[in-house]
Structure 1
Amino acid sequence: MVPRPVLRDAERDDVPGIAALMRQSVLDVFPRFHDERETAAAARYLTEPDTVLVDDGTYYVHEAAGEIVACGGWSRRDKLYTGSGDAPSDDRLLDPATEPARVRAMFVRGDWTRRGLGRAILDRCEQAARAEGFRSLVLMATLPGEQLYRAFGFRELGRTRVPLPNGVFLDGVSMEYPLSR
């Protein structure tokens, strides 16, 4: 019998498990969309948990039988995605009246995909950001997540090539979701 995953707020003690899940998710899912070099770069540079999200209470995990099988969240801060490098404004609080909240660091372990875990995390993000007065959500989707975000209702703003620190580029899709629905 497959254990039912429980969605909860992430805690600082979860960070090592989140990091392991992020890396495993990339290794499981990215090869369907990216070559070996891109997958390796993503596993290295996109899988560092952002503890600010955990500390802010805006990051969530799905836990099943004591294991973290999915994670993701949103941010009221200026940083758009892990791997974008450090910028002086990363910790700046966004103005909910004029700026969109950011969906951040969504990962699902390969053997747990297509079970509604990502959608449940997005639902939680939407509710929390709306409650804080945000009018929209934005994100930078990697190709493995694009289908989920489109199905949820995000619309594409543009496509880009995201540079990683080792010179590898990943295809990215800038997306937006209005909270006025």
Structure 2
Amino acid sequence: MDPLLRLAVPADASAIAELMQSSVLSLFPAYYDQAQTASAARHIAVLDLALIEDGTYYVHEVDGEVVACGGWSRRNKLFNASVAGADERLLDPATEPARIRAMFVRGDWTRRGLGRAILTACVDAARAEGFTRLALMATLPGVPLYKSFGFAEVETAELTMPDGVVLGAVAMERAVDQNGDQR
């Protein structure tokens, strides 16, 4: 059965939370050590309900099961574990990039175009609201997907989780509309 892409609803929250945990525990060990993976599962794989409430979060569903999720935000928060400088302020589409947030795919559903389909939906929705740029903070497992979708590395980063564990990451951006769009 083909995955169905749709907007997430509040009733999806527990399935999304389970998927996030499963994705981190399955995919992160290829890039991070055991302590980093455990910390990411606690601090990054956490659903921000505002994404669902704002109508900017998507799920891929197969036979009633959520196998991928991700979205975008018009708010000033770059990633789940971020607190410094984050707020609920709406971003200005004319001067600030929309944020790509909380992208997770179940380990046995990777490399099937699900992340790309979610990113395409995010680009289209952000464009409809007047955004011209997108920004994200990628954990290492996501970097290949984002690069293949036209995101460029802005800088590498070290993210200190609330428990003090540090994860390598990459800040990335792309234009909403760009020549050679690889969608």
Q: Considering the TM-score relative to the shorter chain, is it more than 0.5? A: yes
- Decide which of 25, 29, 38 is 1:31's aligned counterpart: 29
Q: How does 1:9-158 map to 2 (within 5 A)?
A: 9-85=7-83, 89-158=86-155
Tell me the TM-score normalised to structure 1 length. 0.96
- In 2, Cα distance between the equivalents of 1:16 and 1:107? 14
- Partner deviation per Cα, 1:46-77 (whole Å, 9 max, x = no partner): 11101101000000000001110000000000
The answer for unaligned runs of 5 or more in structure 2 is: 179-183
- In 2, Cα distance between the equivalents of 1:47 and 1:116? 21
- In 1, Cα distance between the equivalents of 2:129 and 2:115? 21
Tell me the TM-score normalised to structure 2 length. 0.95
Read off the aligned partner of 1:81 and give its amino acid letter: F
How many pairs align? 178
Deviation at 1:4, TM superposition (A): 1.3
Name the SS for the 1:177 alignment partner.
Answer: strand
- Partner deviation per Cα, 1:139-180 (whole Å, 9 max, x = no partner): 000000000000000000000100101110000100001013
- Partner deviation per Cα, 1:29-58 (whole Å, 9 max, x = no partner): 000111101000001111110110100000
Report what 2:181 is aligned to. none
Aligned residues: percent identity? 58
Query: Is 2:174 aligned against 1:174?
Result: no
- In 1, Cα distance between the equivalents of 2:131 and 2:52? 19
Aligned CA-pair RMSD: 0.9
Deviation at 1:86, TM superposition (A): 6.6
Deviation at 1:20, TM superposition (A): 0.2
Name the SS for the 1:37 alignment partner.
Answer: helix
